[in-house]
Structure 1
Amino acid sequence: MKLKNTLLAILLISFSQVVKGQFLSASDTSESSVKRYKSIINSNKEIVEFIEYSLVQKGLPKHLRNLALIESHFDRTITSHAGAVGVWQFMTSHANQYGLSEQNRTDLYKSTKTAVISLASLYKKYNNWITVVAAYNCGEGNIAKAMSAAGSSQYHIFYKYLPEETINHVKKYLNACYATGELQSVLANYNNSRMNTVFFAEGGSRKNNASLSETEINAGFNLDVIADELKINVDEILAWNPGIMEELQNKGESLFYLPMDLMPDFLLKKNKILSRSIKQGSK
């Protein structure tokens, strides 16, 4: 328990230092900014109510209405310089990915339904709303490149490798959430995502922790190498994956579980880890 409290204290101090950075706090808390965002929301009450209802129906937080707020000011007819259309500013490729036709990007009901599905999918992948907002703006490919360049799945580390437009987009989102009184909820969500590793390190197993991500590995992977690349302890891997050694030895493959905030790092480094494992095994 003492170790757990110490780890939590360190992590909370680290997080408090992070949120002091402009990219993870409201960069504009001026009265004029707050009034402007609130005015846009009040002028589009019916649209806002429909969006919030659609989000809540799918178990998503209402503050995601602020994504449409900064994307389009709730204007269904707006088209960006890049060709994004409608309230949710769908590019053709993004819309088609979720079955939304090019013409229906201006349809509030169909585009909102698609946006909700897209946001839920992104959250399942990234496990925090800040990264979701960034991915919605620049695409999952750019997020993967930034994570790879930074060697981390944490937004406060990899954000510097994102397009400037995306960094500013996240800032706008945080400013809008400040105006609507939801900033602390967004930051707490990011904080909780980062703390998952600490809680799991206390010995939680995959049976009683729903926040573990799943993939597959074969017997070519060395758990010591995985631990080294992810900067964690082998004992933690074994706690999340009871019986994995026997599974790999007997079947040559196994499901592999990691906390959601570690899985992206593993997937980015998977080929490197396998290469190192094979070299180590041949010695």
Structure 2
Amino acid sequence: MIFLKRFFGSLFLAILVFLFHLLGAERASAQENPFPLLPGLEASVEFWKIVFTRYSTSELIFHDPLDPLKIYKILEMREDAPRRLIHEQRKKVLAELGLDQDEARVRVQRGVKERFAAGLQRSRKYISQIQQIFREEGLPVELAYLPLVESAFNVHARSRVGALGMWQFMPATGRRFLRIGPGLDERKDPLDSTRAAARLLKENFRAFGNWPLAITAYNHGREGLQRGVSQVGSKDLMEIIQRYEGRAFGFASKNFYAEFLAAVEVAKRSEEFFPALEYHAPVRLGEVEVERTIPVTDLLKRADILRDEFLEWNPGLNSKSRSIPAGYRIKVPEEKLEIVQAAYLRAIGKPGPEPKPTSFGETAMSWIRHRVARGQTLSHIARIYRVSVGELQRLNKLPDIHSITAGEYLTIPRH
């Protein structure tokens, strides 16, 4: 009897250990793959892949919205064709299929191959810094590809309903995170809008607990999707797609996560899908925080920078703006950061301190004074000047690599 008790006790413990490891493996798998291809979504993802890579913007795809890979017809029609002509062609397809009484069975999608390719080209300009922002926020870096769906990485993209910029913020949502006004609209700023998107996506994830819903909410709106979760009684995106009957929850919202998955796959395999594509050169932007409003011309003259290139780095500023508002962070390529920082300080009559004398008998000309911008880390500054983090920490007597604050000056060796 004692033997049996020990046997069953050991067996019970073994089962518990097995279940514990199984649960741990499932959690690890979920963390390793935060963006799962949900069962039932495979056809939608494949559909968007061919929309992105096969069909031109001059081609219309007539397909079944419930079974998107069921393509009835491909028709050539220029982009500026009147909507009336597209509607007439859809009527013809419905008649040919005998679906006159069930118009919802045929949907028209225009190919976006050229637009998507252009988005991939533009993405290389900022993608490294965008991914860095998501890492700093503790978010999956694949989210950096979401602008391929939203705007094709066009910082000036504007939708018919008023969404603007790379991340397509509507005014109401944008004002929660960004400054929006006649002289400055940070929705068009590649770095500021990315930080805002990261915060919004993080809020969505906290609200829903999974990325399929968090990403869908980015398109549909958090409150609207929460109504769907409540109505269906589930946080499973596929159940919501199949059962939620919200009036605004249409094809675009139902397919947004599938579009994202398709965009990520194509972006990661871009050399395969677009083998001859020429990408934009990467640009790493540094930032100079403006303490008080200054005239644009004053800064540009002191920094010897052309207005057009300055506005290219700072698309959030109105091209007709005469001043840079206080609190804005000027964006400049990292190799010009020191020049612009010095020009800004001179413009506000606040020159930086002279370089400290060194203990090695070197002249002051062997050193650079760097003013730390908001958001900069010691490793970031070390990369700019091609020095080691340890060297910066030692020269500036920093107790640790996290002990720098915006506005202070660091001594940098000039190599």
TM-score interval (norm. to shorter):
0.5 to 0.7
Residue in 2 aligned with 1:241? none
Decide whether aligned partners of structure 1 residues 77 and 31 sit closer, same or farther in structure 2, where only a CA change above 3 A counts.
closer
Deviation digits for residues 38-79 of structure 1, max 9, x if unmatched?
663234312222211211121211111121111000101111
Cα deviation, 1:214-261, whole Å, max 9, x if unaligned, reads: xxxxxxxxxxxxxxxxxxxxxxxxxxxxxxxxxxxxxxxxxxxxxxxx
Specify whether residues 121 and 101 from structure 1 end up closer, same or farther in structure 2 by C-alpha distance, changes over 3 A only.
Answer: same
- Greater Cα shift, 169-178 or 69-78: 169-178
- Residues 1:176 and 2:233 are matched in the alignment: no
Aligned to 2:134: 55
Equivalent residue, structure 2, for 1:238: none
> Residues 157 and 164 of structure 2 are in contact (CA less than 8 Å); yes or no, is this contact kept in structure 1?
yes
1:264 aligned partner = none
Q: When the two structures are superposed, what TM-score results if normalisation uses the length of structure 1?
A: 0.54
Q: Percent identity?
A: 23
Equivalent residue of 2:165, what SS?
A: coil
Aligned Cα root-mean-square deviation (Å):
3.5
- CA–CA separation in structure 2 for the residues paired with 1:147 and 1:87: 28
AA in 2 matched with 1:104: E
What residue identity is the alignment partner of 2:250? Answer: P
Q: How far apart in 1 are the matches of 2:227 and 2:161?
A: 21
- Structure-to-structure mapping, 1:105-116, within 5 angstroms: 105-116=187-198
Give the match for residue 279 of structure 1.
none
Counterparts of 1:66-215 in structure 2, within 5 Å, are 66-102=145-181, 103-160=185-242, 161=244, 162-181=249-268
* Alpha-carbon distance in 1 for matches of 2:52, 2:167: 24
Answer 1 or 2: which has greater strand percent.
2
Whichever of the two has the greater Rg, that structure is 2
Structure in which a larger fraction of residues adopt helix: 1
For residue 156 of structure 1, what is the amino acid of its counterpart?
A: M
Q: Are the equivalent residues in 2 in contact too, given 1:100–1:111 (CA < 8 A)? A: no
Distance 1:31 1:95 in 2: 29
The ranges of structure 1 where at least 4 consecutive aligned residues each deviate by more than 3 angstroms after the TM superposition are: 1-5, 20-32, 34-39
Does the 8 Å CA contact 2:156/2:164 hold for their aligned counterparts? yes
Q: Distance in 2 between matches of 1:32 and 1:18?
A: 20
For residues 239 and 205 of structure 2, what CA distance do their matches in structure 1 show?
A: 18
Gaps of 5+ in 1: 183-283
In structure 2, do the counterparts of structure 1 residues 159 and 42 end up closer, same or farther at CA, with 3 Å as the change threshold? same
For 1:168 and 1:135, locate their aligned partners in 2 and report how far apart those are by CA, in whole Å: 12
2:266 aligned partner, one-letter code: A
Separation of aligned partners in 2, 1:28 and 1:125: 27
Contact 1:26 1:178 (C-alpha < 8 Å) held by counterparts: no
Question: Residues 43, 76 of structure 1: CA spacing in aligned structure 2 closer, same or farther, 3 A cutoff?
Answer: closer
The partner residue of 1:33 within 47, 53, 56 is 53
CA distance in 1, matches of 2:240, 2:210: 14
**Greater relative contact order (Cα 8 A, min sep 6): structure 1 or 2?**
1
Q: Residues 149 and 30 (structure 1 numbering): CA distance in 2 closer, same or farther, change over 3 Å? A: same
Instruction: Specify every segment of 5 or more residues in structure 2 that has no aligned partner in the other structure, as ranges.
Output: 1-13, 24-28, 30-35, 55-112, 270-415
Aligned partners of 2:239 and 2:177: how far apart in 1? 30
Q: Deviations over 1:148-200 (max 9, x none)?
A: 22121211111242332111222211111221349xxxxxxxxxxxxxxxxxx
2: CA distance, partners of 1:62 / 1:38 = 20
- Aligned residues between the structures: 179
Distance 1:41 1:118 in 2: 23
Cα distance in 2 for residues equivalent to 1:17 and 1:62: 17
